[in-house]
Structure formats: structure tokens, C-alpha cells
Structure 1
């Protein structure tokens, strides 16, 4: 029986989420450029913040800046909140 290292599985799923999120955000950005729609721009930013933001905070900023676990978690949560606010604005504010 093969047992996968939990850290490797966590990294792989976070990377896959960031990769798919980048693709979805790119499609929303294409919609913004095609239709000059501010709502699509905010949607693209929100999706990128929710999917790519936590990956960047956890696997890029945290090791480089030597952040504590609490600071890393705060960064991930702030990226999620900012992304949700951008998506909310794209749906309601424009």
C-alpha cells in the first residue's frame, strides 16, 4: 500500500486549485476585455484572489518572509475576504 505524504498532497491540491483558478480568472478577464465590462474585471480579480492568493501566501510569501503560522493564516483569510468582496462588487456594485 502506497501512503502519500500529507504535505505533498496538500501542495498538489493547492497548486491544482491555483492553476484552475488562473484559467477561470483568465476567461473572466477575456470577457472584460471583449465587452469592456467592469463587472467581469472585478470577477476576474476576485477569482484570482480566492484561488491564487492563498497559494501565493502559503507557498511563496510565507517561506520568503518567514511568516508565522498565524500570519500565514491571516494572509490567506485576507486574500479570501478581498476576493469575496471583489466578486460581491462585480455582482451587485456595477
Structure 2
């Protein structure tokens, strides 16, 4: 068995903080990846150093997380929906909070 949705989010956030965009993009569906530019720009502006999960909700087979990246130039709050596709959790919806 692979990572849980929460473990995948934690790995994803760590990759985003480290600037590992290859890993970040692999966690996104193609539709989300095509529109990730504004979020990536906002993330770069805050210079994230950590993140925290504020809320985790299971809805059917999906998990919805509200979390924030904390940076030296502010923070960025996001809400993402994760769905198991094959054997990997993928972001199927994302929006700023």
C-alpha cells in the first residue's frame, strides 16, 4: 500500500517548500497542472519555510484539506481535494482561501 492522502499532502508540501516542482506537478491531475501558475507565483512570493494542516475532511473517497504555507513574506492558505487515481493520490481541485 502506498502513502495515505495526508502523507501524500505532507510530501507534496515539503516538495513545494524545497522548490521540487517535478514532485509537485506529479501530484496534480493534468487539468490542475495547467492552471497552477497563479498558485506557484503566490507561493514563490511568500518564500515558504513550513506548512500546517488546518482541516482534514473525508467526503466519500476524497479527502479535502485546508492548509497554509508559512513563509518569511507572509502565508498562503489553500484548499485542495485529493482523490485516489490508480494507486496514487492526486489533486483534483484546488483553490486559495
Quickly name the TM-score band, shorter chain normalised: under 0.3
Identify the structure with the greater strand proportion.
Answer: 2
TM-score by length of 2: 0.26
Q: Which has the higher contact order (CA 8 A, sep 6+)?
A: 1
Structure whose alpha-carbon radius of gyration is higher: 1
TM-score by length of 1: 0.26
